[in-house]
Amino acid sequence: MQVALLKLDYSQLTSPRDSAEATALVGSAGGTCFDFHPSQSHVFIVGTTEGVIFKCSKNYSGQYLQTYLGHDMSITGVEWNPFHPRVFISSSSDWTVKIWEESLTSPVLTFDFEMAVGDVRWAPSSSTMFAAATADGTVHVYDLAVNRRKQISSFKVSPVRSGDSRRQDRGRGESRKNERCSRNCFRPV
């Protein structure tokens, strides 16, 4: 990957409109998450603070291949489906998870939650299962083959209480601070 350095020569500014603010890219947003395509290593998707997802390529670094609009707040997670390389999933602070087909610019399915969604991940062993973690520490598990609208399971991650012997820090007697679930994955430990 190549990093470009932009140098601005302020001595060439000729009018009040030619200011540092006017040279900023219009519509640019900060990236919050990304995932590389499972079979095309040069293609990746990027979620932004503006709620936009960009499909990009390392081969065409100056332009986006596709722009996906559908979230109203910052994207918190994106991931390609490991079994269907044209499908990806996204989560957002706007309380939604959306499933996308790469040739369409709007989502195929939308799942509404009652609070911000911190992350979403596909199951590594099933093409139709995913899990989403919400801000209250609940993990919601869906299987699209079973039900396209309702979760099949959910569980709340319990905070760790000080003195809980099951969570001691390697025998040193230091208990961990309370934890919240804001990221999840299906990968075995």
Q: Where are the domains of the chain?
A: 29-167
Strand partners, 46: 34, 54
- The rounded distance, in Å, linking the Cα atoms of 42 and 95 is 30
Phi-psi region of 173 (alpha: psi -120 to 50; beta: other; left: phi over 0): left
Give, in words, the CATH class of 29-167.
mainly beta
The pLDDT of residue 12 is above 60: no
Q: Which two tokens stand for residue 172?
A: 């040193």
Q: pLDDT-based confidence at 142, cuts 50/70/90?
A: very high
Alpha carbon 9 to its chain centroid, in Å, reads: 36
Mean pLDDT for the stretch of residues 146-164: 79
Mean pLDDT of 16-30: 46
Alpha-carbon 172 to chain mean position: 36
Ranges 12-16, 36-40, 54-58: which has the least confidence: 12-16
Which pLDDT value is given to residue 151? 94
Strand residues in the chain grouped as ranges (E): 31-36, 43-48, 52-57, 66-69, 75-80, 87-92, 96-101, 109-112, 117-122, 129-134, 138-143, 153-156
Tokens describing residue 83: 């079994």
